[in-house]
Every structure is written in structure tokens, then in C-alpha cells.
Amino acid sequence: MKDIIRYLASLPRRQKQIVLVAMDICVLPVIMWLVYAIRLATPNVAVMQGFDFWYVYVGVFGVLVFTLLGIYSAIVRSFNEDYLLRLSIATFIQIVGLYAIKKLNLAFIPMSIPLMYGFVLFSYMWWSRAVIRYATLRTFAKKQNRKRVAIYGAGLAGQQIAAALHRSDDYLPICFIDDKASLHGQSLSGLKIYAPKKALGKLGKFHIEEILLAMPSVSRARKKEMIESFELADVKIMELPGVTQLVGGQVQVSDIREVDIIDLLGRDPVPPKPELLEKNIKNKVVMVTGAGGSIGSELCRQIVKHQPKLLVLFEMSEFALYSIDRELQNSGIQVVPVLGSVTNQAKLERIIAEYQVQTVYHAAAYKHVPLVEANPFEGIYNTSIGTARSVDAAVNQGVETFVLISTDKAVRPTNVMGASKRMAELYCQGLAATKPQTQISIVRFGNVLGSSGSVVPLFKKQIAQGGPVTVTHPEVTRYFMTIPEAAQLVIQAGAMGTGGDVFLLDMGEPVKIVDLAKQMIRLSGFRPVDENGLGDIEIQFTGLRPGEKLYEELLIDQENVEKTEHERILKSFEKFYSYNEISHVFNDIKTCVNQNQIPELLSILAQYVDDYKYILKSMN
């Protein structure tokens, strides 16, 4: 039998449709005879007396109606509510056709026959397709390899994904989990609905391997609570994307994805202010330095959404520039890719003048703390001197707005990377104090999830390899934000600047890195190894890296801070040096770099950057 089913299932689609049509043409007249036999209580009955070749009419007319309503074009293995509606309409049309024949006295048809025929016809069409679907799925399903899944959320999305999972070869839905008390103990789509606490005890009994969060409109704070409620269960947690991403209205197995790590932070995004997003972008020529980096590339993606006249991508990495340029080619915005270094002021000025750039977002910088610690010359040259030359080029060419993207590591830094960034801030602040035509602003924020310097990609890779997951210190704590949110806030902060402003992005609550690692391990369906040596993936503490701090800060002076018109952007008033003084300092820095004078270079940083101290060691 299975061989026949496999043979029929392997036929081309057109031949499958012919098989169904032939089957229905044969069965429909039999159904008509059956309802007459039941109505008149005898098998030896004249069907549609007075209407010659009635069986041809019944078979051909029925198949024709089904064809016009797309019954045969539907995929039998995935018939749904739409199929049911079409089938209902087709059945109704045939009932009306029978009553029309009776009204015109073309044949003898008792009043109850059309309704009886419609009922049996609908039942046959539905059950015949259900049997075909069941037999096909039973034949081809690989049940031994299907993951057993509990679906959290018995709403529309949950019901749709349950139906999709039933048809898939990879997942087997076992039960629903829902918070609504009135649903507990009931069944939906053949699956029982459990309360979350009760479900926790059933996961092992039912051998559940994954929990699928099917509540796309739930807030991040609530989603975090749901995830944490299953922390002790050895199951992997997956989810469906948000409602804005499920634009098709039908949930599919391909929509299932891993839980976004930002949901562990329980922070809901704040809607951006359109007027701030557009102020320095719409109908203007915009340039992004470091356009191929994590922040730079996201800035570019956000910028093209707000209709700039032209976007200039300035990047020193050929591959990074190629990648973001190719991604933006279909944005509808003219994009100009430029290979170059921000330390080349002459080229910067030529590009700004050639394209008449009005807004510059300066994202170019080295960001990996240990690498810059081992290579201070390159770090300071690219970050400090590169920023100075970039802002000088912008001022010399009359750019309207220059926004420096800074980091929390610039606050009381313990590393060269943070100190070099603070020197870049000091130069911009000093230059802004001279009241140039260019409005200069600084935006400072912490770690972004998914950037090239983030721990998240590293942890994912280590978990996929079975561990160990490496954390530098049990107490190391960081602030986190998504790249898109950071980019949007940078654009909005830059639009609020009046000159020399230092804006701070509200990063939410700090997160212990070891807690983040444990949560990521649990989300992957594993247990972190505990103090008794029990668990699946070990967390190893490797010690703080050169220049690394336990805690990061956003403020140098805690007192001089004020709120802005945006609830997640603060404005800080910090001490800085006059342009004359800071420009002389930068001349000394250039001399130290050119003459390879490491002690002198680091002593300059220690003198001008609050709380920066250095220990001389072997450096390049």
C-alpha cells in the first residue's frame, strides 16, 4: 500500500489533479444514487427520472464547479479553512443547481434530495482529502527524528504553528501552554492546554525537547518572565517573530527562530521621534565614516530609510565597504562607496567638497580593547588623530553637522582604546568651543549586541561547539543595547546638538556577563555546569584581559547631567580643554607616534584623560 501511495505522491502535479478528477467523476453519481436509495428506502431506484444521462451531468457539473473554485489546485496535504470555505461554496452551488432542475421540471427530484446530496457530497470531499493527507503524511513522516515541541500560547499564532508543525517532518507538537485560566485542561487542535506551572512538571514526562513561544505581540519584559520560568527545564526555547514581521498572516515552520538575546534584557524599545531622525538626513548629503563596521553599517541602513539626497560610505576595509555598498544598492538612494582612511585629511576634504556633504557621522575607530592595548600607536593614530583630522576636514569644508560616536570606555578608562576615544572627545569639545560653522556633537554609549566586539557571537559559537564558555571574571558587568536602537538614538541625539554637546544613551540596567552566558546556555537547551560538576556546558573564568574593567560607566561627572526631549538620551556637561591647548597636545601625540615614543605617548594620555593610568609593557 505504501508503495502505491509513494508512486501517486511522486506523480507530476497535473497527473495528480487528473487522478482526483477521475475519482470524483466516478464517485459523484454514486453519491446521487445513494441519497435516492436512502430517501426512497430501496436500492432499485430510478435516479433523476426524466433526465437522461443524469450521471454525466452530476459528475461533469460537480467537477466543473470544483475546478472553478480551485478545489483541485489546492495542495491536499495542507488544506485549511480557505479550502473548507471553497468546498462549502461549491457544494451550495450544486444544491442550487439541483433545485433549479426540479423547478424547471427537467427531472423528478424530491425536495429533500438536494440537501441530502449536498451533505453527503461535502462529507465525501472533506473526508477523502483528509484520508489522502493522513496516508501521505504517515507514509513520508520521519517521526523518529521529529522534535517534540510544547507551544506556549494557544492564540491564533499558536494554532497556526501547531497546524504547520503537524504537517512538517521536523517537529511534533505535543501540547499547548497558556496563561489564561479558562483554557487550562481544554483541548485545541487535538492538543491539551496546560498552565505554565503544571506544564513545567510535564516536560520530562512528555519528553519535550523544545518550547516554542507563539505570542508575537507580547512585550519583552513579559517574554523575559516566560523564559525565566523555564530556566530549570532542560529544553531549548524558540520563538516566532513579532507581529510586524508576520505580515503574511499565516505562520509557517520557517518562521521559527532562536530567541533574540535582547529579550533576556527585558527592555522594550521606545518609538523614535521622526522629526529628530529626519532633521540631519532628509534631502541632505550624508557621510558615514567606518561605514562597514557594526555601528557604521547600521547607521547606513537607518539613514537610507529617511531619504537622504546622497549617502557617502567612507571605509578603509575593502570587503566591509563592498558588503554594505552591495546591501544598499536596492535602497532607492544614491550611494557612493569611498575607500580611504580617516587619517587622510586631504582625501576627506576632497570627498566632502566633491559631494557637498552636509552631515557626517564619525563611526570609524578601533574597538577591541586587548588588540589596541597591544598596538597603542595604531589605536591612537586611528581613533584620536583620525577623529581630529575628520572633524577638521568637516569644519574646513563647512559641513553642517558632525557627530562623533564614542563609547562608555572613554569614561575613566583603564585601557588605551578608551583613553584614545576620550582624547578624540576632548579634541571635538575644544574645537566646538571655538564656535565653528559646523555643529559638533558627541554621542556616548555602551556595548551593542551582535557587534564585532560583542560577547554574544562568541558565546553562541562556544555553545555550539559544546563549550566551555569563557568569561573573564565572575563580577564583570556591562550595559547592552541592540545595534538598531543604538543607531536610531545616535541619529536623534545628533539632531539635538547645539555644539560641543556630550549625549549619553540610556543603556538600561547593567547585566552580569556570567548571567548572560548562563541564560544563553539554557536557551540552547543545555545546563550550565554547577558547583557540583553537574551540567552540560562549563563556564570558565579566564581573568580580566589587559585594560579591561569590571564595570563600565557613561558619566565622568555624575552631577552635571540633564534630561533632553528624548527619554533615553541624556546630556552631560563635562570639563574640557581649550582648542589651543588640545591642538598642541595633539601635535605632541603625532610626534610621539612618528618617533615611536611609547612612554611619552602614554604619559600624555595619563595627563589629559581623567583616571587613566598605564603600565609600560612590551607593545608594538
Catalytic residue positions, numbered: 409
User: Strand 569-572 vs strand 561-563: parallel, antiparallel, or unpaired?
Assistant: antiparallel
**Lookup result for grid cell 574646513:** 396
Q: How many CB atoms lie within 10 A of CB 110?
A: 12
Asked whether the beta carbons of 184 and 242 are under 8 A apart, the reply is no
Asked whether the beta carbons of 423 and 380 are under 8 A apart, the reply is yes
Report the half-sphere exposure of 16 (CA within 13 A, side-chain side).
Answer: 19
Distance from C-alpha of 417 to C-alpha of 414, rounded to nearest angstrom: 9
User: Strand 501-505 vs strand 569-572: parallel, antiparallel, or unpaired?
Assistant: antiparallel
Polymer length in residues for the chain: 620
DSSP secondary structure, 524-571, as one string: BT--B--TTS-SSB-EEE--PPTT--SS--S-SSSSSEEE-SSTTEEE
> Which residues are 213's β-sheet partners?
152, 239
Distance from C-alpha of 209 to C-alpha of 203, rounded to nearest angstrom: 8
Q: How many CB atoms lie within 10 A of CB 182?
A: 8
Q: What is the DSSP letter of 447?
A: E
Task: Identify the three-state secondary structure at position 259.
Answer: coil
| Region of residue 578 (left: phi > 0; alpha: psi -120 to 50; beta: else) | beta
Please give the backbone phi and psi of residue 443, each rounded to the nearest 5 degrees, phi first: -120, 120
Q: What is the DSSP letter of 384?
A: I
Element (H, E) at 119: helix 113-140
Q: How many CB atoms lie within 10 A of CB 594?
A: 10
Distance from C-alpha of 246 to C-alpha of 263, rounded to nearest angstrom: 18
Please give the backbone phi and psi of residue 537, each rounded to the nearest 5 degrees, phi first: -125, 125
Give the angle subtended at the CA of 449 by the CAs of 446 and 454, to the nearest 5°: 80
User: Strand 511-512 vs strand 171-177: parallel, antiparallel, or unpaired?
Assistant: unpaired
